[in-house]
Chain A
Amino acid sequence: MRSLNASPGIAPVATEKNMEIRNKTYGDVLVLSPEGRIDHANSENFRNGLVPFVERCTASGEKLVLDLTGVDYISSAGLRCFMLAEKQTKSQGGTMVVASMQPVVKEIFEISRFTLVFATFAAVREAVAQLSPTALEAFDAGNK
């Protein structure tokens, strides 16, 4: 009898492509800005693209802001990637928040109950301000 109980694990698969995620550093805050749909077709690529940044998100490292301005849909497989990233950052003592969700994505977040785990902010600037005054200065200087 075939068993389905084996866990696929959380390590990224080296042979899969990594989604390129636009990123920008402001002081000790790293803002990641994925774009488009994060669905069943590309969620593993998204996860692989996220991993190097998540590894830098430690107690003494960078704080992460996931800027979802450019994300117009996210599926359960995509949300699972968020959860895996959150688990890792928490275990490393890091901080990760979500900002600037489009209305549809915001509703999906709420219905999925992900708002119980993730701190969410209406705008990236709000998130940066919450995480680090130094980073806010850099953010404001960089967005003049």
Chain B
Amino acid sequence: MKTASALFRSAGRFNLAAIAVVVFAIVVFGTSRASAQNKDAGAGNIKQSTYAALADAPAKARERKNPFAGDPQAMAAGGKLFEQHCAECHGMKAGGTRKGPSLLQEEVQEATPGTLFWLLSNGVVRRGMPVWSKLPEQQRWQVVAFLQSLKVQAMNSQP
């Protein structure tokens, strides 16, 4: 009887663990897939909303100057950081992927350094862009310097 009881307890524990794993998997992947489907269905809206988020930057934040503006070392460091943290969603050349919009668009390239810094620091959480304030302020400015160097590169590459 004792053995049966122990087995029952053991099976009960196993079942609970199995149920937890199944619920975990269903909830998480269900949410991810729903999120991906929403993105597919409204890709245009997402693009618009993501760029629209640039307009949310407060005036004071927009006016901030990049301490590394024009510094080639900072641009190179920013490029490295971009590759490490941003390219997964925005593409290796910042041209955008299914997960994130192009950063070569006019809306981004015409934005002030302060606006880009603000967006990087605050993310667009409701649209899937994480908050990047875990990078120190200097590194975020380096990323901004890199992003703004893309405009110059694009202009130079035009015939």
Partners in one complex: no
Interface residues of A (CB under 8 A from B): none
Interface residues of B (CB under 8 A from A): none
